[in-house]
């Protein structure tokens, strides 16, 4: 168990700068999720912590000790890869025992630790099988088991669930969370899926083009995004952005953001903003209504499934509470 | 799932495989059949008549101490050629695999020797090690070493092994490099995080995952050492000194075409044919089981 500190960490491949200085303090036992679209540098950041990529500038500290120059094996970390990276020629048992064998752990101790991990992950019936004889979810568990048995100070997860189907992903997400709580190991988890980020994280880091746009607890980030990017990336369906100038009222900043659940459909007489219904998506518990304003901007409204659904092509008014508005400057920063 | 093309008639598929069958028939089955047939006869010195002798050619062969010695020579030669060419190739491939810059140039340079015909390669090495005018011989002489592969058995063997292996390294290198690059990066990285340093990783992860390539090369290289090294041996030592480098395939030639003992030569071809078949079957049956695919 350990703390992890990233101090103005930068990375450049040749002349291309991909990480522009990230600062992050991870407390002991904390579950941090780094989330962002592909190409934002989140995996690179994780690989730098793992020691698989060199640090161009700045410092990474694990438990207070600088590890920039340390080899991956000397950092006391374990990593779960997107493609699991299991050793195809070894049995499940040997896959999990590999790290311990190299460390010279006594045989009975290895057997005990692997058995414990296999028990936690319901892998007991498969210990003698090869990875290719397992399903995706089982392979995922073996990869987790391999990380657990070594009792590392830090867990690193590189999009571990993205190769699984949707149902399994939800199930494994819960298992990972439970496991991490149980073991209390400091974890750094990379994903492009904002639902994973919201559900798993104690704190999340939203990455945008090599920068950490915002670091905070999931609900804080959701309700109080610092940049237009964060407001648009976190939340599904995403935040509506309207051109403030064209709205012609209370124009603070360049764009106004309003989350779909904050927009209400009201009679046209009660509001100065309206639009036509493009189409509606009734999802049961809730309904998503996609509107187009008179000047052509798209707005999504999310309302309770019990509310009446307007006809496609109908015109209606929309309104929201001023306190739910988010204003963004031209640069994307919140004002 | 295996995808198979199904043909309606028999004629089109026959037509499609015909070229390969014709080539194999003309250049393999026919000569092999001739060898089997001729191994049962002794022709007279002028080739005008043949006398049927049954298996006497074979009986005579295995009583011949020179022939038995040639077995040992062949074993030593092919083990050395295979070990040297595969070992060096693997080493170079591991280095090339780690290379990021300039790997294209490095690879091209390493592949070139493959384009050199065995006989030409033999002549190149012969010139370098020529007992009177060879460059290497001269430098060795400066160091006080008297190189003479014409008289020294060991030196002769060493030279033909090196010359044979040299041209083969390129070929093996290509396959090893492709094999190494087919190993997922993340598996190596996972092993590194698991605490395995370079040599441990190589021993426990890389080499086992490379085993299909290694197995394939083992078969191909042994067959190469048995047959295709003829040119090298012919140009460098002609089997000498005192038959020290006369491997089985060279003895077929020297007994048959130089010694004009066609019956014995044919019998030797048959022996060789059987030997290589057995070797390949053994390799596929016993070694393949330990290969991780």
Residue spans per domain, chain B:
60-290
**B273/B281 Cα distance (integer angstroms):** 12
Is the Cβ of A103 closer than 8 Å to some Cβ of chain B? Answer: yes
Please tell me which of B95-99, B128-132, B173-177, B283-287 the model is most confident about, judged by mean pLDDT.
B173-177
* Cross-chain residue pair A73–B195, CB shorter than 8 Å: yes
CA distance B205 to B184: 11
Torsions phi, psi for B30 (to 5 deg): -65, -55
Residue B209, chain A, CB below 8 Å: the answer is yes
Contact at CB, B195 and A103, closer than 8 angstroms = yes
Question: Which residue does chain B place closest to A50, by CA atoms?
Answer: B193
Count interface pairs A-B at CB distance under 8 A: 60
Residue A73 has its nearest CB partner, among B184, B186, B192, at B192
A71, A81, A89: residue with CB nearest B190: A81
Secondary structure (3-state) at A117: helix
Contact of A98 with chain B, judged by CB distance below 8 Å, is answered with yes
- Kindly indicate the confidence band of residue A325, based on its pLDDT and cuts at 50, 70 and 90: confident
A160 phi/psi in degrees, rounded to 5: -70, -20
Write down the pLDDT at residue A217.
93
Chain B residues close to A49, C-beta within 8 Å: none
pLDDT band at B116 (very low <50, low <70, confident <90, very high): confident
What is the pLDDT, as a whole number, of residue B1? Answer: 46
B194/A88 Cβ within 8 A: no
| A58-86 pLDDT per residue, tens | 999 998 889 988 888 888 899 999 888 99
This prediction's pTM: 0.79
pLDDT of residue A188: 93
Question: Which domains does chain A show, CATH number per domain?
Answer: 4-226 (3.40.50.300), 240-328 (2.40.50.140)
Q: A163 vs A81, A174, A305, A335, B219, CA distance in Å?
A: 10, 16, 32, 39, 38
Average pLDDT rounded to a whole number, residues A75-103:
91
- The interface residues of chain B toward chain A in range 170-199, judged by CB-CB distance below 8 A, are 184, 186-187, 189-197
Q: How far apart are CA A133 and CA A119, in angstroms?
A: 19
Chain B contact set for A85 (CB, 8 A): 184, 186-187, 189-190
What band does A163 get if pLDDT is binned at 50, 70 and 90?
confident
Query: At B249, phi and psi to the nearest 5?
Result: -70, -30
Q: Going by C-beta distance under 8 Å and a sequence separation of 6 or more, which residues neighbour residue A286?
A: A302, A303, A304, A305
Q: Is the peptide bond before B241 cis (omega within 30 degrees of 0)?
A: yes
Taking chain B, what is the end-to-end CA distance rounded to the nearest angstrom?
17
User: Which residues of chain A neighbour B186 with C-beta distances below 8 Å?
Assistant: 81-83, 85
Of B194, B208, B209, the CB nearest to A99: B194
CA–CA distance, B272 with A44 (Å, rounded to integer): 58
Please indicate whether, in this complex, the C-beta atoms of B204 and A98 are within 8 angstroms of each other: yes
In this prediction, residue B282 carries a pLDDT of 77
Rounded CA separation B41/B34 (Å): 11
pLDDT at A254 (0 to 100)? 83
- The rounded mean pLDDT for chain A is 89
For chain B, percent helix, then strand, then coil, each to nearest 5?
A: 75, 0, 25
| Shortest CA gap B191–chain A (Å) | 8
Strand order in the sheet with A57-62: A16-26, A4-13, A57-62, A65-66
**Is the CB of A102 inside 8 Å of chain B's CB atoms?**
yes
Q: Which of A81-95, A258-272, B37-51, B106-120 has the highest mean pLDDT?
A: A81-95
Is residue A248 scored above 70 in pLDDT?
A: no
Q: How many CB atoms sit inside 10 A of residue A45's CB?
A: 27
A89 lies within 8 A of chain B by CB: yes
* % of chain B with per-residue pLDDT over 70: 95
Q: Which of A13, A47, A72 would best serve as a mutation to test chain B binding (most B beta carbons within 10 A)? A: A72
Using pLDDT thresholds of 50, 70 and 90, give the confidence band for residue B35: confident
CATH fold label, B60-290 = MetI-like fold (1.10.3720)
CA distance B2 to chain A (A): 18
Tens-digit pLDDT profile for residues A9-63: 999 988 889 999 899 999 999 999 999 998 888 999 999 999 999 999 999 999 8
B205 interaction partners in chain A (CB closer than 8 Å): 87
When scoring B101, B190, B198, B214 by the number of chain A Cβ atoms within 10 A, the one with the most, hence best to mutate, is B190
Do the beta carbons of residue A310 and residue A276 sit within 8 Å? no
B293 has a pLDDT exceeding 60: no
Q: By mean pLDDT, which of A170-179, A194-203, B112-121 is the weakest? A: B112-121
Dist CA A10 CA B94 (whole Å): 31
Residue A147: in which H helix or E strand, if any?
A: helix A136-149
A contacts of B204 (beta carbons < 8 Å)? 98
């Amino acid at each position: 168990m350990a703390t992890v500190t990233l101090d103005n960490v930068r990375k450049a491949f040749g002349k291309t700068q991909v990480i522009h200085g990230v600062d992050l303090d991870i407390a002991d036992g904390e579950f941090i999720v780094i989330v962002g679209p592909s190409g934002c540098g989140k995996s690179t950041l994780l690989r730098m912590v793992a020691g698989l990529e060199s640090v161009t500038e700045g410092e990474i500290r694990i438990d207070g000790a600088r590890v920039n120059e340390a080899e991956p094996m000397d950092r006391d970390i374990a990593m779960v890869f997107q493609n699991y990276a299991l050793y195809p020629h070894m049995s499940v048992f040997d896959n999990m025992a590999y790290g311990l064998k190299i460390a010279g752990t006594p045989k009975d101790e290895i057997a005990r630790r692997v058995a414990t991990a296999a028990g936690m992950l319901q892998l007991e019936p498969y210990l003698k099988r090869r990875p290719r004889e397992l399903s995706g979810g089982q392979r995922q568990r073996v990869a987790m088991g391999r990380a657990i048995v070594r009792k590392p100070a830090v867990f690193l997860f590189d999009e571990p669930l993205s190769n699984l189907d949707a149902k399994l992903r939800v199930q494994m997400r819960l298992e990972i969370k439970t496991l991490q709580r149980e073991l209390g190991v400091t974890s750094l988890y990379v994903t492009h899926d904002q639902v994973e980020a919201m559900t798993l994280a104690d704190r999340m880091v939203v990455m945008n083009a090599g920068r950490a746009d915002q670091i905070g607890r999931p609900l804080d980030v959701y309700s109080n995004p610092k940049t237009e990017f964060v407001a648009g990336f976190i939340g599904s369906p995403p935040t509506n952005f309207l051109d403030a100038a064209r709205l012609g009222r209370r124009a603070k900043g360049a764009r106004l953001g309003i989350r779909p659940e904050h927009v209400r459909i009201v009679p046209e007489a009660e509001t100065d903003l309206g639009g036509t219904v493009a189409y509606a998506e009734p999802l049961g518990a809730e309904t998503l209504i996609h509107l187009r304003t008179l000047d052509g901007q798209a707005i999504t409204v999310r309302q309770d499934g019990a509310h009446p659904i307007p006809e496609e092509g109908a015109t209606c008014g929309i309104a929201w509470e001023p306190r739910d508005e988010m204003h963004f400057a031209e640069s994307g920063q919140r004002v | 799932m295996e995808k198979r093309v199904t043909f309606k008639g028999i004629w089109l598929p026959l037509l499609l495989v015909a070229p390969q069958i014709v080539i194999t028939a003309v250049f393999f089955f026919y000569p092999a059949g001739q060898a089997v047939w001729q191994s049962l006869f002794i022709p007279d010195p002028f080739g005008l008549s043949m006398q049927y002798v049954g298996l006497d050619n074979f009986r005579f062969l295995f009583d011949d101490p020179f022939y038995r010695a040639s077995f040992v020579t062949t074993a030593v030669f092919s083990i050395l050629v295979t070990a040297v060419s595969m070992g060096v190739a693997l080493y170079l491939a591991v280095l090339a695999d780690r290379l990021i810059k300039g790997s294209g140039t490095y690879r091209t340079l390493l592949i070139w020797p493959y384009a050199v015909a065995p006989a030409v390669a033999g002549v190149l090495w012969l010139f370098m090690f020529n007992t009177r005018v060879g460059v290497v011989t001269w430098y060795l002489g400066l160091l006080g070493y008297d190189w003479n592969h014409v008289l020294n058995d060991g030196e002769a063997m060493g030279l033909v092994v090196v010359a044979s292996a040299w041209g083969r390294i390129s070929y093996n290198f290509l396959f090893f490099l492709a094999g190494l690059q087919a190993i997922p990066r993340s598996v190596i990285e996972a092993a590194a995080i698991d605490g395995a340093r370079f040599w441990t990783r190589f021993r426990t992860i890389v080499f086992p995952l490379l085993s299909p390539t290694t197995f394939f090369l083992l078969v191909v290289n042994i067959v190469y050492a048995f047959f295709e090294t003829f040119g090298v041996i012919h140009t460098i030592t002609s089997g000498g000194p005192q038959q020290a480098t006369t491997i089985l395939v060279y003895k077929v030639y020297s007994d048959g075409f130089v010694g004009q003992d066609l019956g014995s030569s044919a019998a030797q071809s048959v022996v060789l044919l059987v030997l290589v078949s057995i070797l390949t079957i053994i390799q596929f049956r016993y070694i393949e089981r330990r290969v991780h695919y």
